[in-house]
Amino acid sequence: MYAYSDFDESFVRDRVRQFRDQVERRIDGRLSEDEFKPLRLMNGLYLQLHAYMLRVAIPYGTLDARQMRQLAAISERWDRGYGHFTTRQNIQFNWPKLCDVPDMLDALADVGMHAIQTSGNCVRNVTSDHFAGAAADEIADPRPYAELLRQWSSDHPEFQYLPRKFKIAITGATADRAVTRAHDIGLRVVARDGAVGFEVSVGGGLGRTPMIGRIIRDFLPEADLVPYVEAVLGVYNQLGRRDNKYKARIKIAVHEMGLDTIRELVEARFAETRSEFPGAEAALAEIRAAFRAPDFRAGGTAIPSGSPAFRAWADTNLAPHRREDHAIVTVSLKTPGQQPGDASAGQMRAIADLAETFGYDEIRISHRQNVILPHVRKDDLPAVFEALAAAGLAAANAGLISDIIACPGMDYCALATARSIPVAQEIAVLFETLDLAHEVGPLRLNVSGCINACGHHHVADIGILGLERAGVETYQITLGGDPTERIAIGERTGPGFAADEIVGAVERIVTAYLELRDSADETFADAYRRLGLAPFQKALYSEESRENAA
């Protein structure tokens, strides 16, 4: 795994010292609130509904046991004994005190972690495939590129005060598990004539105006990555709108000026930047060496037999590893009834122990708010399952309807217009009670507590958006969204549903799907592509269907 170099170490320590100093200068008035705010955000500190929130980066979602244990310790010492894993491969602590934050940052630096550029109008933590380095369908491990971009973007002198936040995602596999085209820049590793490069998309994003990234370059040679991204950012910094923060993302510039104009400007700038990073190649080689695969221990290629509970879990929570004798394990943070994405300190330690004992000390965080053990020998799976079960982490629901993405919503977030956590909990519990989740099969259900779409509802099979109408919560449904390489933005079904109707509405959609599907092999996404919105609208809104459900 990537280990901090001396430079990384001193850079991160220096940032902590700076932040300590910035907090002091804010308190004694040398910095105004307006001047302090971007500095605070650049260091991951948000002001939320009840308290500050510290957002810690988990670069490209990769962690080791020592780091996981430190997150557990931080949550106990300065928070309330748990942390919230987010769709952006961050962990958020919801209850820190401002005066403690520099100490928390120091504790993170002790294990090579930081909160740099997890918020604010700068290049954010680069996200990646949570199966990176392990997936059977991988062309190249995307993490070395993500780390190169982390280094390039950290404290980049030109791009700390952009018009708006800027998110980059990268995948190295044929399947897109990083939702690349919902990012300001999406990078997909492709091979052409034996050379590795990237398909580059630009202008994707969710939020109030969801847009799918447009392909600005179909093949960017690996060596041009940094100068090309530098060119895109230069164009955006100059042209992105600053008069209206809702129109400030690069997607609006692409939309208003046209992809061809943006492409021309980027290519012109790229002609200049291209020769400016002679050190990038050596840096990439060094980084790549640090991402060597572990020394895998050989084992059996079959999944051992076990209890029915083990088999149910193995059916849903395993993904193909590039070695036949290993599997990728998804540790669900979605036990029906729990807050999606939350892990207690005890659970974090249990995961750290497992990673050390059975997982070559590697852990990943997925944008679906779960934890991944990327390399587990198939022979060890029953032992891993038993240990997870003992820690309350063995929910057999990865990829199922109860594996819900939910943003913090009204329970924590100052921008929320509705609650999202209770809705997610009720839906998960309902399908658990009905014992239907396995029957329904793969289905993505995502919930956001406001139009900002932090819960990725636009790219879910069933997306739920919580709004407020005349003082009451109302939930809008979108169907047919897809976060994968088949990316699609969901379509609105029609009028929203009240808080006490939304769970029933989801149930009607699912019941309709079960009736309409060709066979158990036709997933919800496939059935929706075949059938379109109409039959689901009927199930949702016709008098008859409402009565049947009542």
Partner 1 sequence: MSDRVLITDAGFGPVDPAERYLGLADLVAAPGAQRVDLGPETDPAALGPDLARIQAIRIAFPAVSDGRGFTLARTLRRMGFTGRLRAAGQLIPEQYPMTRACGFDEVEIDADRARRQPEADWRAAARRQGYLARLRRPAA
Binding stretches for ligand HEM (CB under 6 A): 46, 48, 53, 86-88, 92, 164, 167, 205-208, 249, 407-408, 412-413, 415, 452-454, 456
396's CB contacts (< 8 A; 6+ apart) are 309, 312, 313, 315, 316, 317, 332, 438
Rounded CA-CA distance 54/70 in Å is: 15
What is the SS3 assignment for 348-391?
HHHHHHHHHHHCCCCEEECCCCCEEEEEEEHHHHHHHHHHHHHC
Among 13, 20, 241, 242, binds partner 1 (CB under 8 A): 242
Choosing from 209, 335, 452, 545, the residue that interacts with ligand SF4 (CB under 6 A) is 452
Distance in Å, CB of 237 to ligand HEM, minimum: 16
Give the number of residues written for the chain: 550
Asked whether position 18 contacts ligand SF4 by CB under 6 A, the answer is no
CA distance 162 to 165: 7
Candidates 39, 54, 393, 430; binder of partner 1 (CB under 8 A) is 39
In the complex, the smallest distance separating the C-beta of residue 407 from ligand SF4, rounded to whole angstroms, is 3
Do residues 87 and 455 make contact, with C-beta atoms less than 8 angstroms apart? yes
Question: Cβ(363)–Cβ(325) under 8 Å?
Answer: no
Minimum distance from residue 289 beta carbon to ligand SF4 (Å): 38
Work out whether 280 is an interface residue with partner 1 (CB under 8 A).
yes
Which of these ranges, 154-162, 182-190, 404-412, 451-459, lies near partner 1 under the rule CB under 8 A? 154-162
Q: Which does 509 bind (CB under 5 to 8 A by kind): ligand HEM, partner 1, ligand SF4, none?
A: none
Minimum Å distance from CB 403 to partner 1? 37
Q: Which residue type is seen at 525?
A: A
CB neighbour burial string for 221-255, b if at least 16 within 10 angstroms, e if fewer: ebbbbbbbbbbbbbbbbebbbeeeeebbbbbbbbb
Q: Does 133 bind ligand SF4 (CB under 6 A)?
A: no
Q: Does 408 bind ligand SF4 (CB under 6 A)?
A: yes
Assess 178 for contact with ligand SF4 (CB under 6 A).
Answer: no
When asked if residue 105 is in the footprint of partner 1 (CB under 8 A), the reply is: no
Query: How far is Cα 535 from Cα 466, in angstroms, rounded to an integer?
Result: 23
- The distance from CA 59 to its chain's CA centroid, rounded to whole angstroms, is 11
How far apart are CB 149 and partner 1 at their closest, in Å? 11
Query: CA 480, CA 488: separation in Å to the nearest integer?
Result: 7
> Considering the rule CB under 6 A, would residue 415 count as an interface residue with ligand SF4?
yes
The tally of CA atoms less than 13 A away on the side-chain side of residue 50 is 9
Is-contact 56 91, C-beta < 8 A?
A: yes
**Structure-token pair, residue 536:** 């689901």
Interacting stretch for ligand SF4, rule CB under 6 A, among 153-161, 356-364, 447-455, 490-498? 447-455
* Residue 152 binds: one of partner 1, ligand SF4, ligand HEM, none (C-beta under 5 to 8 A by kind): partner 1
Compute the least distance from the CB of residue 206 to partner 1, in Å: 23
Q: Which amino acid, 35?
A: E
Region from 277-285, 303-311, 395-403, 421-429 binding partner 1, contact rule CB under 8 A? 277-285
Q: Are 337 and 430 in contact (CB under 8 A)?
A: no
- Using CB under 6 A, pick the residue from 75, 344, 448, 493 that binds ligand SF4: 448
3-state secondary structure of 318: strand
User: Given candidates 44, 112, 449, 463, which one binds ligand SF4 under the rule CB under 6 A?
Assistant: 449
Task: Give phi and psi for 169, each to the nearest 5.
Answer: -130, 150
Q: According to the binding rule CB under 8 A, does residue 159 interact with partner 1?
A: yes
- Judged by beta carbon, residue 329 or residue 450, the one nearer ligand SF4 is 450
Contact status: 51 vs ligand SF4 (CB under 6 A): no
CB-wise, 375 or 457, nearer to ligand SF4? Answer: 457
| β partners of residue 314 | none
- Separation CA 169–CA 180 (nearest Å): 5
269 vs 368, which CB is nearer to ligand HEM? 368
CA distances 242 to 46, 121, 125, 249, 469, Å, are: 21, 11, 22, 9, 29
Q: Does 261 bind partner 1 (CB under 8 A)?
A: no
Site for partner 1 in 395-414 (CB under 8 A): none
Out of 126, 134, 173, 226, point to the residue binding partner 1 (CB under 8 A).
226
Nearer to ligand HEM, 48 or 484 (CB): 48
Binding site partner of 229, from ligand HEM, ligand SF4, partner 1, none, Cβ cut-off 5-8 A by kind: none
Yes or no: say if 446 and 406 are a contact pair by the CB < 8 Å rule: yes
Q: Residue for token digits 């990555």?
A: 225
Q: How far is the CB of 224 from ligand SF4 (least distance, A)?
A: 34
Q: What angle do CA 211, 465, 175 make, to 5 degrees?
A: 50
- Choose one: 331-339, 368-376, 450-458, 525-533; the region binding ligand SF4 (CB under 6 A): 450-458
Cα–Cα dist 366/104, whole Å:
23
Residues at the interface with ligand SF4 (CB under 6 A): 407-409, 413, 415-416, 448-450, 452-455
Q: Which residues bind partner 1 (CB under 8 A)?
A: 7, 11, 14, 18, 21-22, 25, 29-31, 34-35, 38-39, 121, 151-152, 154-162, 226, 234, 237-238, 242, 272, 276-283
